[in-house]
Structure 1
Amino acid sequence: MSKLKTFFLCTCLYVSAAYSAMAAPPKYKLSFAIKGLEHKVCLLGFYYGDKTYISLDKNGKDDTVVADAHGSFTFSRDTTLQPGIYFVLTRTKKSFQFIIDKEQKFSIEGDTAGDFITNLKAKESPENSMFFDYLRYVTVKHLEAVKYEKQKNSAMIDSVNREVQRYKDDFVRKHPDMLLSTVFKANEEPVLPPTPKLPNGRPDSTFPYRYYKAHFFDHVNFSDGRLVRTPVLFPLIKEYLDRLTMPIPDSVIVAADYLVGKAKANREMFKFVVAYITNKYETSNIMGMDAVFVHMADNYYTPDQAYWVSPSQLEKLKERAAQLKPVLIGKHVPPLALPDTSLAIQVIDSVRARYTVLYFWDYDCGFCQKETPKLVKWYDSAKAQGIEVYAVETNENELAKWKDYIRKNNLDWINVADRYHTSNFHHVFAIVSTPVVYVLDENKNIIAKNIDVSELNKVIKHDIEIQNAKRGKN
């Protein structure tokens, strides 16, 4: 009896498991039959901002399948896919795009022979059928435009462009909620009105730029998070920041806040815009843009806003921003008082100079050995103009060799080292490699940092011009 009970219980468990499996069919099932992909390894990929990614399977590995002898293969999972534009990629780089939205169970047929993209057909997915129709249509129109371009017939090129725009406008009117409509709208550029005239009767030459920038995102629906997973959104944001915004921190911060303000309409959009801008300016090669990173960290990386960041990551990001904040362009240099070669304390705020070059270096650093002679040569020609160098040796363990290098190479500027390890300058000035150059004005405010010695003349000349212009206004 006990054995029978055990068998019955096991049977119930198996039946229950089977019933559960039957009750939970895959939430997406993408079936493909593509001639030319027989026995090929195929991957399912998607766009995210400026990057493309391969979807992962349930084990966290690349979602790959092998097409059978007929070029048939299927991707399926018990989770839904985030809406966006996806693609199938093979090891030979053959790929094609399609749309994922509400319809997540459909099939696509095609043939890699000939014009692969234009012979794709979708079943059980009206939006993909319309997407492929559009690809066929725009391919024909592109060939027409190329022909007219060779003929230098600008009137006919404009005519083709108007036809394509009418096609898109008609599509958007008929299918306003489709992802393809959102993509079409986002790609629309602002139409410039006639340029107004200034009071003196001349055309306002700055109007086209100001109008274009102010209306650049008029057709981008920031409340539609689907755009994040398309190749459309990122180029627009990049163009706005790189081409339509002055490359100075204050202007970029205004632009960043404007974009984030728009992105707040959608959770996924907010995540992408905040993360992209933060990463972009944390690693920017443009001097001073770390101020944008600090601004983003201070204003948007809070537990209630940056929901995608773990507590430990958030803490590290906040620490990095706090470290950079005291040494941003325009800030007064942090306190620094170190002993020189004769043990006299040299306080950087007490250095009397029109400009001070704060130079973090190591006598044994290969790159420093290339840059330091350049700095010596520059200093010899510039010190008569009221310029001083405050050079901090970052290797406090070889001070005898440091002094020997100073003597042999005639470094007659201010040479100091933290021999007692009291200043914590590595952390304060974010020194992770050497050499590092800061430029301070007469009031010891930071006017430049992380520049090469070859840029010193340009930086100082530019600051002198700014100061002269200010005095002229006063």
Structure 2
Amino acid sequence: MRKIFFLLLAALTIQLHLHAQGYQLTVKLKNYTSGKLFLANYMGRTTYLADSTEVNAAGEAVLKGKTPLLPGIYLIVLPGKEKYLETLIDKQQVFAVTIDTTDLVNKTVYKNSADNDLFLAYNKFIYQLESQAAAITEQLKNAHTAADSASIAPQQQALGKKVQEYRNDLITKHPGTLLATIFKAMKEPEIPQKPAGEDSSFAYRYFKAHYWDEVDLASDRLVRTPVLEGKLKKYFAQLVVNMPDSINADCDALIAMTRKSKETFKYVLWWLTYNYESSPYMGMDGVFVHLVEKYYVPGEAFWLNAEQLNKIVNRAYTLAPNLIGQQAAPLELKDTASKPVSLYKTQAKFTVLVFWDPTCGHCKTEVPRLDSAYKASWKNKGVTMIGVKTEGSREEWLSFIKEHKLNGWIHASDPEPASNYRRLYDVYSTPVVYLLDEKKKIVAKRLAVEQLNEFIDRSAGKNAAARL
């Protein structure tokens, strides 16, 4: 027992010593006598500079720092930035690597890095399969019929099976290593045979329910790899129901899984926030607002300073009043004769609310197109058009209305100004278009004419069906 105690104490001392050392990567380059060497890390699929140093006359460069690097896949970028070597960084952060640029796979040698010995062996294995993969690709190019392509499929499957068997073998023989963690995360759930009584959605439900089983979200080890971002993209693009309420629930469930790792929590919350704040799909701003209200407002975004946090929170508060399904904010405006115009006193089955500027190039194209759709179809479906001038002089406004014969619209402006429409309707560029229902709830927003036409047709059809 005393001997085991001293062995454990010695191991702990070594680990503490290495931790105190931070990191030191000694890189020996053949055929280099100068230049700058860079160390970059993945953050998702993007790479960021982590360190750099000069290559000496002997072709040696030492990258070192007092603070240990966070685990992940790093890139040793050679002088000239045309070639790089992927390298694993985990617990062991003092090691050496000799690189021969004539063959980065077969002539690279690591010293004192068991993780990279495993990684290098895997890369050599993949390199050996490349000629077979290239031959299969060539056969597919030359395939003339569906039968030809089908006959090649078993070769592809066999090759894929070899790769997966290699990965599974490494997971079994080297559990707990960074490479095993990466390979486990790359695996996808194997769907069992559908049990009796289950409906056709069983495969989807099983796959989704077990999607994250092999992904280590409780540690920081996958953040600085491309794997985690790939898993996030597939999950939210293909498995999550594309409705804000469903997305919100899945976001919260996933974030809860990351609570034991500050770096994973940070990355997943950031990715979700950015993904839905910048989404081109209508209604996804509701997810952004949900994330901000639940995680940013209570102060959980620990990596942001006060100024950065305020910008995100203010953006969410700007969007919150005009989310899909919300009651539109009241608008009290003045028409072209300076008489009152009230949004809620304007009775209509549908209201198309257009914020526009007679001097805006995009408005000059879109507003006449909206008017054409209104006169051709929407008017007969109970649509009322309300146009709100945001910029430009009164003369430019009236001239545009007359020139393009925008008859039948309610034209309004806010000359005082007093309605605060810019904040309430998030109007910071033009045109901005909202579709409101009979009760002035927001049905759609920021759509082109064709998309808006589809929404009006669909909504009109629903109303007709409801009356039957």
Which category describes the TM-score, using the shorter chain as reference length?
0.7 to 0.9
User: Which one-letter code corresponds to 2:46 in the other structure?
Assistant: K
- Does 1:405 pair with 2:394? no
Deviation of 1:314 after TM superposition, in Å, equals: 1.8
Deviation of 1:344 after TM superposition, in Å, equals: 1.6
1:431-450 paired onto structure 2 within 5 Å: 431-450=427-446
Deviation of 1:216 after TM superposition, in Å, equals: 1.2
Deviation of 1:135 after TM superposition, in Å, equals: 1.0
Q: Residues of 2 paired with 1:471 and 1:112: CA distance?
A: 75
- Could you tell me whether the CA contact under 8 Å between 1:354 and 1:441 is conserved in 2? yes
State how many pairs are aligned.
437
Query: What are structure 2's unaligned runs of at least 5 residues?
Result: 1-18, 140-150
Q: Residues of 1 paired with 2:276 and 2:421: CA distance?
A: 23
User: Which one-letter code corresponds to 1:192 in the other structure?
Assistant: I
Deviation of 1:172 after TM superposition, in Å, equals: 2.0
- Does 1:263 pair with 2:262? no
- Could you tell me whether the CA contact under 8 Å between 1:99 and 1:128 is conserved in 2? yes
Residue in structure 1 matching 2:73, options 62, 85, 93: 85
- Does 1:384 pair with 2:380? yes
Deviation of 1:146 after TM superposition, in Å, equals: 4.5
Aligned match of 1:137: 125
Deviation of 1:319 after TM superposition, in Å, equals: 1.7
Aligned match of 2:300: 305
SS of 1:42's equivalent? Answer: strand
Q: Residues of 2 paired with 1:99 and 1:168: CA distance?
A: 16
Query: What are structure 1's unaligned runs of at least 5 residues?
Result: 1-23, 56-62
SS of 1:460's equivalent? Answer: helix
- Does 1:241 pair with 2:236? yes
1:23-422 paired onto structure 2 within 5 Å: 27-55=22-50, 63-90=51-78, 91-113=80-102, 115-147=103-135, 152=151, 154-155=153-154, 157-196=156-195, 198=197, 204-381=199-376, 382-395=378-391, 398-412=393-407, 413-422=409-418
Q: Residues of 2 paired with 1:38 and 1:153: CA distance?
A: 48
User: Which one-letter code corresponds to 1:180 in the other structure?
Assistant: L
Aligned match of 1:8: none
SS of 2:217's equivalent? Answer: coil
- Mean Cα deviation higher: 266-275 or 315-324: 315-324
- Could you tell me whether the CA contact under 8 Å between 2:45 and 2:225 is conserved in 1? no
- Pair 174,422 (structure 1): closer, same or farther in 2 beyond 3 Å: same
Cα deviation, 1:138-172, whole Å, max 9, x if unaligned, reads 22234345446667454454444334333322322
User: Percent of counterpart pairs with the same letter?
Assistant: 36
- Pair 132,442 (structure 1): closer, same or farther in 2 beyond 3 Å: same
Deviation of 1:297 after TM superposition, in Å, equals: 0.4
Q: Residues of 1 paired with 2:381 and 2:163: CA distance?
A: 63
Deviation of 1:402 after TM superposition, in Å, equals: 1.5
- Pair 391,153 (structure 1): closer, same or farther in 2 beyond 3 Å: closer
- TM-score, normalisation: structure 1: 0.86
What RMSD over aligned residues (CA atoms) do the two structures have, in Å? 2.3
Q: Residues of 2 paired with 1:54 and 1:97: CA distance?
A: 14
SS of 2:439's equivalent? Answer: coil
Q: Residues of 1 paired with 2:32 and 2:442: CA distance?
A: 60
Q: Residues of 2 paired with 1:418 and 1:71: CA distance?
A: 70
User: Which one-letter code corresponds to 2:442 in the other structure?
Assistant: I
SS of 2:315's equivalent? Answer: helix
User: Which one-letter code corresponds to 1:229 in the other structure?
Assistant: R
Q: Residues of 1 paired with 2:190 and 2:134: CA distance?
A: 24
- Could you tell me whether the CA contact under 8 Å between 1:84 and 1:226 is conserved in 2? yes
Q: Residues of 1 paired with 2:99 and 2:166: CA distance?
A: 24
- Could you tell me whether the CA contact under 8 Å between 1:281 and 1:289 is conserved in 2? yes
